[in-house]
Structure 1
Amino acid sequence: MLKGIAAAPGIGIGQVHLIELKSREEETDNSQLLHGPEEIQAELARLEEALGRAKRDLEELAAKTRQEIGEAEAGIFNAHILMLTDPTFITGVKEKIQVEKKNAARAVEEVAEAIASSFAALDDDLFRERAADIRDVAARLLDNLAGGARRAREMKAGSIVVARELTPSLAANFSRNTVAGIATEIGGPTSHTAIVARALGIPAVVGVQGLMDRARDGDLAIIDGSAGVVYLNPGSEQLEEYKKKKAVLEEGRRDSKYAGPARTRDGRHIEVAANIRNAAEVKIALEYGAGGVGLFRTEFLFMNRDEPPGEEEQFLTYKEVVAAFQGRPVVVRTLDIGGDKHLPYLNMDHEENPFLGLRGLRLCLARQDLFKTQLRALFRAAGYGNLKIMFPMVTTLEEVKLARAIMEETRQELERAGVNIGRPETGIMIEVPAAALAAEVLAREVDFFSIGTNDLAQYTLAVDRGNERVAGMYDACHPAVLQLIDMTVEAAHRYGKWVGLCGELGSEIQAAPLLVGLGLDEISMSPVFIPPMKEAINKIAYHEARELVRRLLKLPGPAEVRAALSKLV
């Protein structure tokens, strides 16, 4: 088992197709110097011809990507076209041919690598992505200079693509029919590989250290793109377990009858929504039948950059997501940084225990400049659809009142300036035991609750789920956690407020009877789990699930709860 970064959700099982790009020495092995003006002119002509072919290739690839994936992904290749005409690049290549008498392939490689290395040396993921773009453009030019000889070997259907890194050109040519999963040694959640994989619905894990040393062509592999894990040559029991999980996901996806709402046998409607990180994930959420967005994790807009996103950038992102769901609810969580996430440009002091420190709403209240910028963008985007604002890591009533006061101040400023805004509902996350215990008091102050089971379980059980020495004690099905959820739902409903759940427990299909019986109005999850969750809900009677929950709450531990649930599936 190799751990990496969850880049695109889902499960892929297949044989490894190892992609090892040729070394630069192999690509440019013709290192003899040019002789005389005729050879130089001939090499310049070869370069111009290769540039023209590369431009045409990229235009076709951009058009194909725009049609099959989306406008944002096509923009990657429009940027590549611009690189082909960049004076710094083209002039540098021509000078090496004319002055240093290098052949075109060697000249392209040396200039591109010099530019790419300067970007890669910068301490910023976005600049490092630009380095990958430059190398991709250079590889395409080298391909054309070699007469198209540098082609990836044919791939069998259902392959697991394994590579040190993937160029955008390679990734954009993949399809779900050919590629069952992707794993790379280099990359992050904002890499082109991750973006394209999510858009295509191909499970992907990136940033897997040691992957290329361990993977071999033809190895059996499992990609768990939701958990960020790669299994090489798994055992028979593990393989069967993942085959069952994959079958459940694929059956639900194929069955179009679950594109509609989820409704229990006795008529209770439960909204099944998607957890997303950016606008690029909207397409796959809609494809899987999401009834809305239950959790938009906006912190990903703030990561991997040198400064926070401005109001206009945030507004355009939120507007794009809200407009795509055409009136269906989109719950946007305000900046939730701290604990396991860190933004260097915030210059936050070191904390001995960051999970109990300045994070979530606490940070927003401490950095009201960031908070008000985000609120302005959210108010503006709310004018284009059903946007709801949600505050994370709430502990006290005073925090909520202060946050709402800042919201009201921001709203009035926008109205005085004549800006078109919406009137979004305001809710809070219940992920701290104190908030669950004070749910009745908090319910009077907000429009809705959303229960974050990941942190609620972590704080209730005093278990760091990322610490392998105690992670086995972490289980959101612990009766103590379930009792907090139950009292939260009861308190909210007494005041006519709706309650969602957006933690990983919402992706557990086996837990569907428990989730229904707790009385939740909405369940939000990774998009791939939406169809099977709808199917499970449609088979459950709410009144029977309520009786089940009353029994489960009295059990001594999570093992007993899960054993009882397993008998129902």
Structure 2
Amino acid sequence: MLHSLRSIVQEVNAARDMKTALAIIVMRVKHAMQTQVCSVYLRDDKGEYLLMATEGLNPKAVGQVRLRRGEGLVGRVVVREEPINLEHAEAHPSYQYFPETGEERYSSFLGVPIIHHRQVLGVLVVQQVEQRRFDEGDEAFLVTMSAQLAAVIAHAEATGDLLTLGEKPRQAKFVGVSGAPGIAIGEAVVISPVADLQSVPFKACDDVDAELAFFQRSLMAVREDIKGLGSQLKERLNREEQALFDAYLAMLDDASLAREVSERIRKGVTAPYAWAEVILEHERTFTSMNDPYLRERATDLRDLGRRVLAYLQESTQKCRIYPDRTILIGEELTASMLGEVPREKLAGLVSVEGSSNSHVAILARAMDIPTVMGAVDLPYTQMDQRPVIVDGYKGVVHTDPGSQLRKHYKAIYIEEQQLVKGLEALRDLPCETLDGYRVPLWVNTGLMTDVVRSLERGAEGVGLYRTEVPFLLRDRFPGEEEQRQIYREQLEAFSPHPVTMRTLDIGGDKALPYFPIEEDNPFLGWRGIRVTLDHPEIFLTQIRAMMKASEGLDNLRILLPMITSVPELDASLVLIHRVFNELREEGYDIHLPPIGVMIEVPAAVYQVRELSSRVQFLSVGSNDLTQYLLAVDRNNARVADVYQAFHPAVFRALQTIVDEGHKENVSVGICGELAGDPGAAILLMAMGFDVLSMNATNLPKVKSVIRGITLLQSRALLAEVMALSDADQIRERVERALREAGVTRLIRPLDNAG
């Protein structure tokens, strides 16, 4: 059964479309379970369950038999959300006869729900003429099969109406999570890693003859490369190893392989896409074979496929044109990918992987780019050059939007711009409540482009400068002088306001391409201060650059990330004091900057007093603190709804941090994304946070909310909220309070979007 399961899943994954996949499922499951009928019912856009494929029932019934939730045995499976196993199906009170299926002769019935993200997508059914109680093994197999196929069917269902060769694409909607708020209307540009066969974007070919010639030239180039490599290594390889190069050349000379690719090019697709499709199909064929030797050939084919693809992509990458309103789409977007697009042309971002608190989402918010993360069902390789709407408020992507939808979002976009202009008048006004309580609003930065926007919006300092951003944008570690220049620009730009520079915080979802950290559980692994203490040469160089950059300005603050214990902090302080003393001896006229600790793990929450006694300030990283408190990987789209910044446990931890920190007379700020939420900001103010630091985009909104409420009102609201036990209840209560204060538009801008 396990072999059958693997084989069926492999075949379904290799299917070119939903119809083929369903046909494979019903045929192979029927055979594996040695029964007479297998059928699949899938939910349609009306919420009803339609017979979509069958092996054993009348094929004319496909697309005709439709059941509502609770109707018939299939509808009963949907309601129960668990298997129904009947020896005499016709005797069950929910049994319903459909003449067109010809099922009256089938007595035994086993139906299991197909569930994806808590939604019943369909029902998988097997039936038999003889009275048969399907045993536990049968039921377990069908349940396992439905679980394996749920994601495949969800993806196929989501993409089934989208582009297929020769058909006009239709409007579709894909749901992810909000990465950065805003509306973007533009044209998709798909970006993918070089020579990645799985992520080659679909593109139509304008000149078939030129594309065929280009394909043949690329094959010739790879052929010459392999011949040359074989000649170079001839003396160092034995006959068996040398045969590998011969095998590669034989595959390149295989007329059928080139013919398959050429046929697809003639149908109107580019060579890279046609090549990737053909190679992946052959690879799947080899992988599914029983012979171990033939299965191993899949690896050879994949390697050859990448070599040819690299040539095919080289010229297409060079001539990439970015439209004026580029919507950048990729499987997993990175900071360097963002850097490839001219800033004035980048309108929106869509990442298939990641969540609202992954690093690229944080950068997007800092750059004020509407973003959707975790759009797992989006067929991104098919999206290049197609019209797209990104709804960063709702976390929704609309592809090939119709005129009505375009008109709707155009109106929202205009309204959004007017709202932003209305907040610009707050720039030079103090951030204080109606009863005169002042709250400093600082910004989180990482790029020099943030500086102008931050100052334009009235920032009073930098609560978090992400020093890893310049590291992420390079192909090597920046030297001490390079870092000094970068840090000096930031310090000078905000002088005399304070600039809080976090030491290098890599690991987790921030991997340097030249310093990869491969771990099964990176958020609980080697990251933050753990990396830099293990590599003091990196840490010392960075601290030297920071302190040298601060000479004559004295507005530097140093922040240490991912501190989990007092010994870690003590080790960091020893190195910082060592650098300070060395620079003083070298003649630099500097002062020891204030040093702070990020509170972002539960261990630090319960050691605030001990940590505070050694530093001058604390800064809460609410993104990671929420992740660790709730045991939720913030980059995992499957559990994105479990990541709740308004969770009661998060608020109780935040109150503890403020209270304990103030007992040691240290300043306590917060630099996570929570501080930029207008509704959360008034609660943080009421808790007693000394500084709120956020992305520049949200600063005017937060200022407007704080200026529209009294400290007394915020404290009364906090008291109510702290007694609640549910995140949704807390958010609803906060929004009601702000509606009463007349600032609803700043909590969830344009809530009617989508």
TM-score normalised by L of structure 1: 0.65
- 2: CA distance between counterparts of 1:375 and 1:228? 39
- 1: CA distance between counterparts of 2:545 and 2:348? 35
Q: Secondary structure at the match of 2:505?
A: coil
- 2: CA distance between counterparts of 1:512 and 1:459? 21
* Aligned residue number for residue 538 of structure 1: 707
Contact 2:655 2:687 in 1 (8 A): yes
1:495 equivalent in alignment to 2:664? yes
Q: Secondary structure at the match of 2:669?
A: strand
- 2: CA distance between counterparts of 1:229 and 1:445? 46
- Within 5 A, what are the aligned runs for 1:92-107? none
- 2: CA distance between counterparts of 1:354 and 1:253? 41
| Number of residues of Structure 1 aligned to a counterpart in Structure 2 | 437
Q: Which amino acid aligns with 2:544?
A: R
1:319 equivalent in alignment to 2:488? yes
Contact 1:12 1:223 in 2 (8 A): yes
Shift of 1:284: 2.0
Contact 1:393 1:432 in 2 (8 A): yes
What per-residue deviation string (whole Å, max 9, x for no partner) do you get for residues 399-445 of structure 1?
A: 11221111000111111111343432111111111111211221111
Q: Which amino acid aligns with 1:332?
A: M
Contact 1:215 1:232 in 2 (8 A): no
Q: Which amino acid aligns with 2:683?
A: L
* Aligned residue number for residue 386 of structure 1: 555
What per-residue deviation string (whole Å, max 9, x for no partner) do you get for residues 278-298 of structure 1?
A: 223212222232222211111
- 2: CA distance between counterparts of 1:266 and 1:541? 5
Shift of 1:391: 0.5
Point out where structure 2 has 5 or more consecutive residues left out of the alignment. 1-173, 191-201, 214-305, 308-313, 331-336, 353-360, 739-754
Q: Which amino acid aligns with 1:11?
A: G
- 1: CA distance between counterparts of 2:317 and 2:638? 40
* Aligned residue number for residue 460 of structure 1: 629
* Aligned residue number for residue 368 of structure 1: 536
- 2: CA distance between counterparts of 1:540 and 1:245? 28
1:523 equivalent in alignment to 2:688? no
Contact 2:189 2:327 in 1 (8 A): yes
1:161 equivalent in alignment to 2:326? yes
Distance 1:206 1:438, change over 3 A: closer
Contact 2:599 2:625 in 1 (8 A): yes
* Aligned residue number for residue 279 of structure 1: 448
- 2: CA distance between counterparts of 1:456 and 1:246? 36
- 1:418 is aligned, of 559, 582, 587, to 587
- 1: CA distance between counterparts of 2:729 and 2:374? 37
Q: Secondary structure at the match of 1:481?
A: helix
Distance 1:521 1:237, change over 3 A: farther
Q: Which amino acid aligns with 2:535?
A: R
- 2: CA distance between counterparts of 1:173 and 1:21? 25
- 2: CA distance between counterparts of 1:499 and 1:27? 66
1:12 equivalent in alignment to 2:180? no
- 1: CA distance between counterparts of 2:625 and 2:469? 21
1:222 equivalent in alignment to 2:393? no
- 2:435 is aligned, of 252, 255, 266, to 266
- 2: CA distance between counterparts of 1:477 and 1:408? 38
Q: Which amino acid aligns with 1:161?
A: T
Shift of 1:394: 1.1
- Within 5 A, what are the aligned runs for 1:107-186? 135=319, 160-162=325-327, 171=342, 181-183=347-349
Q: Secondary structure at the match of 2:637?
A: coil
Distance 1:336 1:311, change over 3 A: same
1:445 equivalent in alignment to 2:614? yes
Point out where structure 1 has 5 or more consecutive residues left out of the alignment. 32-120, 123-129, 140-150, 187-193
Shift of 1:172: 6.7
Q: Which amino acid aligns with 1:12?
A: I
Distance 1:533 1:316, change over 3 A: same
Q: Secondary structure at the match of 2:563?
A: coil
Shift of 1:461: 1.3
Contact 1:390 1:426 in 2 (8 A): yes
What per-residue deviation string (whole Å, max 9, x for no partner) do you get for residues 181-200 of structure 1?
A: 245899xxxxxxx9x99999
* Aligned residue number for residue 232 of structure 1: 399
Contact 1:272 1:290 in 2 (8 A): yes
Distance 1:341 1:470, change over 3 A: same
- 1:300 is aligned, of 469, 478, 482, to 469
- 1: CA distance between counterparts of 2:554 and 2:505? 23
Deviates more, 1:236-245 or 1:547-556: 236-245
- 2: CA distance between counterparts of 1:250 and 1:266? 29
Contact 2:367 2:449 in 1 (8 A): no
The structure that has the greater radius of gyration is: 2
Contact 1:437 1:484 in 2 (8 A): no
Q: Which amino acid aligns with 1:372?
A: L
Identity, % of aligned positions: 33
CA RMSD of aligned residues (A): 4.5
Deviates more, 1:401-410 or 1:241-250: 241-250
TM-score normalised by L of structure 2: 0.50
What per-residue deviation string (whole Å, max 9, x for no partner) do you get for residues 502-523 of structure 1?
A: 1121222222321221211211
Contact 2:184 2:370 in 1 (8 A): no
What per-residue deviation string (whole Å, max 9, x for no partner) do you get for residues 109-166 of structure 1?
A: xxxxxxxxxxxx99xxxxxxx9999647xx9xxxxxxxxxxx98xx8xxxx4347899
- 2: CA distance between counterparts of 1:500 and 1:524? 7
* Aligned residue number for residue 680 of structure 2: 511
Q: Which amino acid aligns with 1:527?
A: A
Contact 2:181 2:365 in 1 (8 A): no
Contact 2:600 2:620 in 1 (8 A): yes
